[in-house]
A and B are shown apart, each in its own frame.
Chain A
Amino acid sequence: MSASLLSVENLVVEYAVGGKTIHAVSGVSFEVARGETLGLVGESGCGKSTLGRAVLQLRRPVSGHVMFDGEDLTAMQGDALRRMRRRVQLIFQDPIASLNPRRRIGDIIAEPLVIAGVKDPGKRQQLVCEVLSAVGLDPALVIGRLPHEFSGGQCQRICIARALVLKPEFIVCDEPVSALDVSIRAQILNLLEAMKARFGLTLLFIAHDLAVVKAVSDRVAVMYLGRLCEVGPSEQLFVRPAHPYTALLIEAIPVPDPDVRPAESVAAGEPPSPMAPPSGCRFRTRCPRADNRCSDEVPELRAVAPGQFAACHHPLIPSA
């Protein structure tokens, strides 16, 4: 991974809640190559959204580094960080809630340009129209209207347009299709793929749905309770998962085929609280392969196959 655009090193994010600490992200490292889509999957509360926000410095990490194009975002403040933010953008889960209901679509999309100092209104208008056309909306019909006049899918197109208007290099997509209906979801996933190709984007694609993540990602990282369990090329990870948690997630996906009998209660128990994560491997309380070593020793990410890394003392495929 020589040409990595983003490199996250040992990132730790914690929240203080009522005198207790939530260990949201506990020492996560990964890289995203320029032009690559890295999928990040995990269940609610695993820290994936916090990780996405910490990458963009919207939540400052406790320790660790986020290197973007050779510069450490965690060391940046004020103007330097603001300038850097033009190159990185974020798309949220709830497209309707992320648009100001009182502002017109044209103004919403022009806002980043105003902040970035594009002073000429004509130039702004032109850029807004370009980006709206790119996401499949007719600028003439859209610019003067308010968010409530649009459906969820259209609002997500508008959010994507807003994220693209500054021509960023890197976008964190945080559950961008979870709130959308199946028939609309496919449109938005296809749009993200098309935009990625057209603008040469690098994406961190966060979602809880493995099939959705696989559809758009070159590599996938699986997160559980603040730590990465496994990272690997999408295809390989799904065919031969090494971490028992990855295997569990894959098994739990409902398959639209009546001949595939759903596996009976694949997952025992629920994730423990991130306030008091288990010692050693955090997945051990639900893992069928767990033994004493798993409670004593935190497993490191180790190579199990070319490009595939798992943090497990007893991986499903023997260590390479």
Chain B
Amino acid sequence: MTGQALLSVEQVAVDLPTPRGNLRAVDRVDLGVGAGRTLGIVGESGSGKTMLSRAILQLLPKKARLSGRVMFDGQDLGRLDPERLRQLRGRSLAVVFQDPMTSLNPVLTIGTQLIETLQEHLELDALAAKKRSVELLAAVGIPAPEQRLRQYPHQLSGGMRQRVAIAIALSCEPKLLIADEPTTALDVTIQAQILDLLAREQRRRHMAMILITHDLGVVAGRTDEVAVMYAGRVVERAPTRALFKKMRMPYTEALLAALPKIDAAPHTPLPAISGRPPDPTRPVQGCSFSPRCRYAVDQCQREKPLLSAAESPDHQFACFHPIEAGV
């Protein structure tokens, strides 16, 4: 990552008090993304990827404790007053969630929601806001945009709703778009359309994007850099091409291997990862992946490996026994 990162996440940790004790959802994460770049964050449920995106947006649950620093466009988001933060979130920092129904208001028309956003953040008058709304809906591939403005979210399909959510997110020309599992609820052909749309708009606007997903297939062709999360930590981070060429962290490799391959013969047994992720209220002393790792030795159970680079400075991994290069 270059010096002029638009967003930089520095030693961010999120702790959530639960009846069963403290839950460290995000554990000292460092990440960054520059203008016009796409960072993929990959992880399974409970890996902390969504909590991390909420920490960036300063939208954590009330009880959560955040430590570390989130620098965005030269400002420390943790130090901004709530009003300034609110302005920033609508304008230069936008987000698209997995389920568009959670971000769209079910009792307001699509038009009201889009026009309201534009009026609030860009101070457009009603007519200009409406005109801009139609353009935005057309840009995200919604047919008959004028008519859609009068419709309610429930009258649209899942794919169309996600397009509306993207139109709202893009409406104020954000500098950074966080897309949190934007296609997980959608069918595979619609998923391809939405990912194409995000990529196209990102290029056109020279916007930075964070694409959060559980699917290594989604990040492979559509990101510049990938961070893999496991049990709240980033365990491997590299430029996308370098990562797929040479995975060093056994978890990343195992995650890829566990995916059914379209070109494998039927009934080929899948190399499954045994066991399951650790209980986040009972942290593992050593490497969190060690109980499931086939390369684990004593040291892995005792000590926590730090995220560090070996031969190439931009390929980092947290492992004492990384997979050897060229294997």
Contacts and interface: CB of A to CB of B under 8 A. Distances in A.
Contact of A252 (B189, B222, B261): B189
B267 A256 contact: no
A190 B192 contact: no
Nearest to A268: B193
A259 B192 CA distance: 17
Contact of B258 (A44, A183, A214, A235): A183
B3 interface: no
A190 B254 CA distance: 15
Interface string B33-50: 000000000001100000
B226 to A, nearest CB: 9
Contact of B221 (A189, A214, A254, A266): A254
A215 B261 CA distance: 8
A258 B225 CA distance: 11
Interface centre among B160, B196, B292 (most CB of A within 10 A): B196
B84 interface: no
Nearest to A250: B262
Contact of A253 (B190, B217, B240, B276): B217
B259 A211 contact: yes
B272 A186 contact: yes
B269 A255 contact: no
A255 B216 CA distance: 8
A47 interface: no
Nearest to A261: B221
B220 interface: yes
B273 interface: yes
B215 interface: yes
A187 interface: yes
**How would you classify the secondary structure of chain B's contact residues: helix, strand, loop or mixed?**
loop
B26 to A, nearest CB: 18
B271 interface: yes
B315 to A, nearest CB: 14
Contacts of B254: 183
A305 B196 CA distance: 34
B264 A254 contact: no
A216 interface: yes
Interface string B245-270: 00000000011101111111111111
A267 B190 contact: yes
A183 B272 contact: yes
A202 interface: no
B192 A267 contact: yes
Contacts of B191: 252, 254
A266 B217 contact: no
A214 B262 CA distance: 7
Contact of B188 (A183, A234, A253): A253
Nearest to B258: A186
A156 B81 CA distance: 46
A210 B262 contact: yes
B192 A263 contact: yes
Interface centre among B256, B267, B277 (most CB of A within 10 A): B267
- Give the interface residue-count category, chain B: 35 or more
Interface centre among A44, A217, A255, A263 (most CB of B within 10 A): A255
A262 B222 contact: yes
A210 B266 CA distance: 11
A212 B187 CA distance: 14
B195 interface: yes
Nearest to A214: B266
Interface in A131-161: 151, 153-154
Given A256-B216, A262-B221, A211 B260 contact: yes
B69 interface: no
A175 to B, nearest CB: 12
A189 B220 contact: no
A282 B263 CA distance: 28
Nearest to A39: B266
B241 interface: yes
A254 B260 contact: no
A114 interface: no
B274 interface: yes
Contacts of A259: 241
Given A181-B44, A253-B262, A256-B220, A190 B195 contact: no
Contacts of B263: 238
A254 B189 CA distance: 10
A143 B214 CA distance: 32
B157 interface: yes
A193 B258 CA distance: 15
A249 interface: yes
Contacts of B195: 254, 262
B265 A235 contact: yes
Given A182-B44, A215-B266, 19 more contacts: A151-B276, A181-B44, A181-B45, A182-B214, A182-B255, A183-B255, A183-B276, A183-B277, A186-B259, A186-B270, A186-B273, A211-B261, A235-B265, A251-B192, A252-B188, A254-B192, A256-B217, A258-B241, A262-B192
Interface of B: 44-45, 157-160, 187-193, 195-196, 214-218, 220-222, 240-241, 244, 254-256, 258-274, 276-277, 292
18 contacts: A181-B214, A182-B258, A186-B260, A186-B270, A211-B261, A215-B267, A215-B268, A218-B266, A253-B188, A253-B217, A254-B221, A256-B220, A259-B241, A260-B221, A262-B222, A264-B196, A267-B193, A270-B157
Interface of A: 43-44, 151, 153-154, 181-187, 189-190, 193, 208-212, 214-218, 234-235, 238, 248-267, 270
For the complex of A and B, 5 pairs with smallest distance between CB atoms: A254-B217, A267-B189, A186-B272, A43-B187, A186-B270
